[in-house]
Amino acid sequence: MHRVSMVCIVVLLVLACLSGVSAADSWHQFQKDSLNTGITSDATPTADPVLVWSAFTHTSECGTGIDAPPIIAGDLVYVYDVNGTLQASDRINGTLIWRNETSVGFQSSTPAYGNGKIFVASSAGDMYAFNAATGEDLWKKHVTDRNFECPVTYHDHKIYVGEGLSGGVRTKYYYCYDENGNELWKHATDDTAGFLWCGASVVENYLVYPVHEGGLISVYLENGTLRDELDLKSGLSFSRSDLGRIRASVSYYDGYVYTTSEKSQTIGYVWKVGFEDGRFIDDGWSSCIGFSTSTPVIHDGRVYVGQGGHEHPAGNLTCLNDSNGELIWQYTVPKGVKSSPALSIGDDGTYIHFTTAMSGGSLYCLRDCGDSAELAWKYNPPDDGYILQGAAISDGLVYFGTDGGYVYCIGRRGDLNHDGSVTPADALIALQMAAGAVPAAVLVGDMTGDGRVTSLDALMILQAVAAGRSRI
Ligand SMILES: [Ca+2]
Ligand SMILES: [Ca+2]
Ligand SMILES: [Ca+2]
């Protein structure tokens, strides 16, 4: 048949075009790494989003489910839910690999991966370590009678996490543990509500983190001794007496630390503060964008940050000029963006992924077009749970969870090797699936909608490639 001979030609073409598979980047902790960069060079879907897999974990009677972003290490994606369950799944097909338990409660501390272990800080004030490959319990420590609700930071065989808001205003501690569960130090901050989402960055020999009431703290990694502290309300030429409170982490880029604060829907700031040899410098800016609990991401002279809360009528993704804090563009969405953006940087531009803080919210992907942003795609998951957390990215796939208790893996239709683009290499995989040589990924590979992956789907993938090229 004509179609068969075409497919034969196609196979030869594909074999000629087949290139090596790129290595997947990791997303080992909140905002990817211990600087909270939030950026990967892995290409993500730039069009035609498709559900690659989804999995249910748990929900609570209060309507909560998954409130911390997934993390990704090697072949596995890890999700921590309201039941205190840590679940590891194959990142490509969603197969459950292992599951282990901590304690039930609203879990908003993002776990961290390091040296073959997953570190978890629970709402009950306990820390845990699990074997990342098998889920085996390695250790558990009751650290505090307060709660944990900020991301765990892992760096060089040590973990860092601060006490949350439970117990009210008092002396609260940021802890450093080694990977075997021994406390190395704790640093006290007096008269603070604590560290809700106030995750740390490791910058050279220092740990830097924000304080709820509007401060920044820098301590020596080695022993937790104070190096410097700053009150953003008064200590700088660009201080703001009405900064409100900080409920975001610190990110670091090229000599500056960044965070956000919020006082009301309209009053809230993005902060850029000079940071040199562990000390805060009066160099940078504060920019009023309105309410934000989002941790800024910095790339190519621009600062990307979410704006607004779930109680606000609308929110947006804001892009500022990194040199002066001036607004470049805002992309408005139906509710606030409490989560932190996850960026994919490729040859074809900067893509920004974030979720809207609302029941029935969506995962958005914007393309930065210079003076404005355009919607690359949007994915509205089938459950209508509230979405608090942002996304994690690895190897052409985007992951996020909801209070409906589901974790979702989003890819691109036809992109069977998950490199973010549709090429002849994907058509070859479709042919292998059609021949039964590899398991069929129907959700991604079925272009015709007949529920199977056949040689016709391979042909349609090639047609999509040709159409894409002719548009360029
Ligand atoms: Ca981090
Ligand atoms: Ca591909
Ligand atoms: Ca088909």
Q: What is the 3-state secondary structure (H, E, C) of the chain?
A: CHHHHHHHHHHHHHHHHCCCCCCCCCECCCCCCCCCCCEECCCCCCCCEEEEEEEECCCCCCCCCCCCCCEEECCEEEEECCCCEEEEEECCCCCEEEEEECCCCCCCCCCEEECCEEEEECCCCEEEEEECCCCCEEEEEECCCCCECCCCEEECCEEEEEECCCCCCEEEEEEEEECCCCEEEEEEEEEECCCCCCCCEEECCEEEEEECCCEEEEEECCCCCEEEEEECCCCCCCCCCCCCECCCCCEEECCEEEEEEECCCCCEEEEEEEEECCEEEEEEEEEECCCCCCCCEEECCEEEEEECCCCCCCEEEEEEECCCCCEEEEEEECCCCCCCCEEEEECCEEEEEEECCCECCCEEEEEECCCCEEEEEEECCCCCCECCCCCEEECCEEEEECCCCEEEEEEECCCCCCCCCCCHHHHHHHHHHHCCCCCCCHHHHCCCCCCCCCHHHHHHHHHHHHHHHHHC
Q: Could you give the C-alpha distances from 185 to 165, 196, 254, in angstroms and in order?
A: 20, 20, 28
- Domain assignment of residue 50, yes or no: yes
Q: Please indicate, yes or no, whether residues 273 and 328 belong to a single structural domain of this protein.
A: yes
Residue 74 pLDDT exceeds 50: yes
Residues 335 and 462 in one domain: no
The rounded Å distance from CA 409 to ligand 3 centre is 21
Ligand 3 centroid–CA 456 distance in Å is 7
Distance 263 CA to ligand 2 centre (A): 45
Give the residue numbers spanning the domain of 201.
39-412
Q: How far is the CA of 411 from the centre of ligand 2 (A)?
A: 10
What distances in angstroms separate CA 350 from CA 28, 45, 278, 397, one per listed residue? 21, 12, 31, 16
Confidence of residue 16 (pLDDT cuts 50, 70, 90): very low
Residue 13 located in a structural domain: no
Answer whether residue 329 shows pLDDT above 90.
yes
Both 456 and 328 in one domain: the answer is: no
Ligand with minimal distance to 430 CA: 3
**d(Cα 318, Cα 325) in Å, to the nearest integer?**
11
Going from the Cα of 442 to the center of ligand 3, the distance in angstroms, rounded, reads 8
Ligand nearest to C-alpha 449: 3
Does a structural domain hold residue 147?
Answer: yes
Residue 38 pLDDT: 98
463 and 319 fall within a common domain:
no
Domain-embedded: residue 290: yes
CB 122 within 8 A of CB 157: no
Q: Is the pLDDT of residue 92 over 90?
A: yes
CA 420 to chain centre: 18
Cβ atoms of 306 and 340 within 8 Å: the answer is yes
Residue 11, pLDDT score: 56
Could you count the other beta carbons within 10 Å of the beta carbon of residue 247? 25
* Distance between Cα 439 and ligand 3 center (Å): 14
C-alpha 433 – ligand 2 centre gap (Å): 15
Cα 199 to averaged position of ligand 1 atoms, centre (Å):
7
pLDDT band for 177, please (50, 70, 90 cuts): very high
Can you give the pLDDT at residue 20?
46
Tokens of 325: 């804090």
In this predicted structure, what is the pLDDT of residue 341? Answer: 98
Averaged pLDDT for residues 98-125: 97
Q: What is the mean pLDDT of residues 115-143?
A: 98
Residue type, 239: S
Shared-domain flag, residues 69 and 143: yes
**179 and 270, same domain (yes or no):** yes
Averaged pLDDT, 73-80 = 97
Q: What pLDDT, on the 0 to 100 scale, is given for residue 470?
A: 55
Question: Residue 9's pLDDT band (boundaries 50, 70, 90)?
Answer: low
Q: Is residue 367 domain-shared with residue 318, that is, in the same domain? A: yes
In a domain, 9, yes or no: no
Mind listing the pLDDT tens digit for each residue in 230-254? 999 998 999 999 999 999 999 999 9
User: Is the confidence at residue 467, as pLDDT, over 90?
Assistant: no
Mean pLDDT of 370-398: 96
Residue 1, pLDDT score: 45
Q: Which ligand is nearest to the CA of 443?
A: 3
Residue type, 134: T
The number of the ligand nearest the C-alpha atom of 28 reads 1
pLDDT of residue 93: 94
Please tell me the predicted confidence (pLDDT) of residue 14.
53
Ligand 1 centroid – CA 34 distance (Å):
4
> pLDDT value at position 468?
77
pLDDT value of position 347:
83
Domain with residue 243: its CATH number is 2.130.10.10
d(CA 355, CA 373): 16
The answer to whether position 26 is within a domain reads: no
For residue 124, how far is its CA from the centre of ligand 2 (angstroms)?
43
Backbone angles phi, psi at 367, to 5 degrees: -110, 130
pLDDT of 12 above 70: no
Same domain, 214 and 327: yes
The predicted structure's pLDDT at residue 217:
98
Same structural domain for residues 385 and 257? yes
Which of 470, 469, 468 has its CA nearest to residue 47? 468
Q: Which residue has the tokens 């805060």?
A: 280
Expressed in angstroms and rounded, the spacing between residue 14 Cα and the centre of ligand 1 is 40
What is the rounded distance in angstroms from the CA atom of residue 66 to the CA atom of residue 407? 8
CA of 448, nearest ligand number: 3
- Interval between CA 45 and ligand 2 midpoint (Å): 9
**Residue in this structure with the two tokens 């292992």, named with its chain if needed:** 98
Cα of 35 to ligand 1 centre, how many Å? 6
Residue 425 forms part of a structural domain: no
Of 231 and 12, the one with more pLDDT: 231
**Considering the domain boundaries, does residue 10 fall inside one?**
no
443 near 51, Cβ under 8 Å?
Answer: yes
The pLDDT tens digits for 34-55 are 999 999 999 899 999 999 999 9
- pLDDT single digits (tens) 264-301: 999 999 999 999 999 999 999 999 999 999 999 999 99
- Please provide the average confidence, as pLDDT, over all residues in the chain: 94
434 Cα to the center of ligand 3, angstroms:
9
Alpha-carbon gap, residue 212 to 414, rounded angstroms: 45
Q: How many domains, the chain?
A: 2
- Report residue 319 as tokens: 């892009």
CA angle 273, 278, 281 (to 5 degrees): 35
Same domain, 223 and 315: yes
Same domain, 293 and 329: yes
Cα of 255 from ligand 2 centre, angstroms: 37
Give the mean pLDDT of 420-440: 95
Does 21 have pLDDT greater than 70? Answer: no
Report the distance separating Cα 110 and Cα 327, nearest Å: 30
Q: How far is the CA of 429 from the centre of ligand 2 (A)?
A: 9
Distance (Å) from CA 426 to ligand 2 centroid: 5
Q: Are residues 134 and 266 in the same domain?
A: yes
